[in-house]
Structure 1
Amino acid sequence: MGEEYKSKVFKSGNSLALRLPKALGLQEGEEVTLVSHDDGSFFFWRQDRAREVLMGLYGSMSAGFMADGRDDTAQDDRDWSHAATQAA
């Protein structure tokens, strides 16, 4: 794990903002992806690293990750005979 930084949330217009330390190496205007977790924690990464982050998550799954399937629930049959004539 890397360095730990503390910051405060402040109001900026009608939004909330978080001042990030320069030491993180972000540049003004750089886009980031921010993900909130159910436990209240957040994770973010540079947008240009999205593929790298995704592939890292993929590689972290165990070999038997979906060995038992997705455990989907059964769905009723649908009548698609008139679906092409209806507008979305």
Structure 2
Amino acid sequence: MADLLEENLQNYKTAPFDARFPNTNQTRNCYQNYLDYHRCNKTLAAKKQDLTPCMWYQKVYKSLCPINWVEKWDEQVENGSFPGKI
């Protein structure tokens, strides 16, 4: 399973279709994948498990989100002022 996940991550080109976000505007998709990435990291790190599965969310949000949004959100996470529930 881990081998298949790593292979999929290496072959990854851009964000695939997500039925939760069928519209052209992908802002919510970007934000949700950013949250999912940080939630995944937090959960797996607490269990001391491999964080490789979380890389999927990171690749998706990095392909969808503008860089300046991600930088702003990262800064807010570091400062403890991020409005989302991580």
When the two structures are superposed, what TM-score results if normalisation uses the length of structure 1? Answer: 0.28
Which structure's CA Rg is the greater one? 1
Looking at secondary structure, tell me which structure has more strand per residue: 1
Structure showing the higher helix proportion among its residues? 2
Which structure is higher in RCO with an 8 Å CA cutoff and minimum separation 6? 2
| TM-score, reference length from structure 2 | 0.28
